[in-house]
């Protein structure tokens, strides 16, 4: 589903010109896998997820999604790929005048997601329940706390029924109970076949729920399989 071959990313014009945020990354992630991406602040977690979300291109190397090399896809194939991916951004942006429900249903409909109609409404209600947001359903997004807004972004991502979820610190603004609830939700999606990647600082989570882990440091990536000893 995801293949990286010698993928590097650098930002021209930055003070450390041509210093590589990501350097020669290699990765093969199959459909249905679950991967944590960990590493210190500035290690490149968001950059990696943004490239996988097709929001940025690699500076060099080959990135393939669903078997398509992204440097050579047609606009219509790119649209199809984007419909299959949901992102949970590190910086959540909701439409503040719309209600929680409207924000989620709009995201579910946008880009022609696979969810539709009554099915979609029921799924949104179920997600709101699981995320502890039922009481906020008809409130405007402007009234939400940071943690609540982040949970709405998670509901937006899941309501689209994606094949790939790219979650950038999805528990960053949560208390421990909410964080475990969110991990549980993402693990269930994964059990039903969705491929999940989570960038996180939460080492406790990575230690307690062991999964394949990519550790980013100085631009390089080290992969650890879940059965191996925990080194974090």
| Chain residues that interact with Mg ion, rule: CB under 5 A | 45-46, 90
**How far is the CA of 125 from the CAs of 70, 131, 152, in angstroms?**
35, 10, 12
Pick the closer one to Mg ion by CB: 90 or 103.
Answer: 90
Q: Which residues bind ligand ATP (CB under 6 A)?
A: 11, 14, 21, 39, 41-47, 90
CB 226 within 8 A of CB 212: yes
Pick the closer one to Mg ion by CB: 46 or 195.
Answer: 46
Question: What length does the chain have?
Answer: 232
Sign of CA dihedral 127, 201, 47, 37: negative
Pick the closer one to ligand ATP by CB: 11 or 66.
Answer: 11
1 SS3 class: coil
29 SS3 class: strand
> Which residue in the shown chain puts its C-beta closest to Mg ion?
46
**Looking at residue 99, what DSSP letter applies?**
B
Residue 41 binds what, of Mg ion, ligand ATP, none (CB under 5 to 8 Å, by partner type)? ligand ATP
Residue 37 binds what, of Mg ion, ligand ATP, none (CB under 5 to 8 Å, by partner type)? none
CB 161 within 8 A of CB 113: yes
Residue 39 Cβ vs ligand ATP, minimum distance, rounded to whole Å? 6
**How far is the CA of 41 from the CAs of 21, 37, 38, 197, 216, in angstroms?**
12, 12, 9, 17, 10
Pick the closer one to ligand ATP by CB: 9 or 160.
Answer: 9
Residue 125 binds what, of Mg ion, ligand ATP, none (CB under 5 to 8 Å, by partner type)? none
Pick the closer one to Mg ion by CB: 161 or 170.
Answer: 170
Residue 95 Cβ vs ligand ATP, minimum distance, rounded to whole Å? 24
Residue 44 binds what, of ligand ATP, Mg ion, none (CB under 5 to 8 Å, by partner type)? ligand ATP
């Amino acid at each position: 589903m995801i293949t990286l071959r010698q993928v590097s990313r650098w930002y021209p014009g930055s003070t450390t010109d041509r210093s590589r945020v990501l350097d020669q990354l290699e990765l093969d992630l199959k459909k249905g896998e679950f991967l944590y991406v960990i590493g210190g602040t500035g290690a490149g977690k968001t950059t990696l997820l943004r490239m996988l979300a097709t929001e940025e291109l690699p500076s060099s190397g080959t990135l393939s999604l669903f078997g398509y090399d992204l440097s050579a896809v047609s606009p219509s194939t790119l649209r199809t790929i984007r419909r299959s991916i949901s992102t949970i951004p590190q910086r959540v942006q909701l439409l503040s005048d719309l209600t929680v429900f409207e924000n989620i249903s709009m995201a579910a409909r946008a880009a022609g997601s696979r969810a539709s109609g009554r099915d979609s409404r029921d799924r949104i209600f179920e997600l709101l329940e699981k995320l502890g947001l039922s009481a906020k359903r008809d409130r405007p997004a402007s009234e939400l706390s940071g943690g609540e807004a982040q949970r709405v972004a998670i509901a937006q991502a899941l309501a689209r029924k994606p094949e790939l979820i790219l979650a950038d610190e999805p528990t960053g603004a949560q208390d421990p109970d909410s964080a475990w609830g969110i991990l549980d939700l993402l693990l269930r999606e994964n059990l039903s076949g969705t491929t999940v990647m989570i960038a996180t600082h939460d080492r406790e989570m990575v230690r307690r729920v062991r999964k394949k882990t990519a550790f980013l440091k100085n631009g390089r990536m080290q992969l650890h399989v879940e059965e191996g000893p925990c080194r974090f």
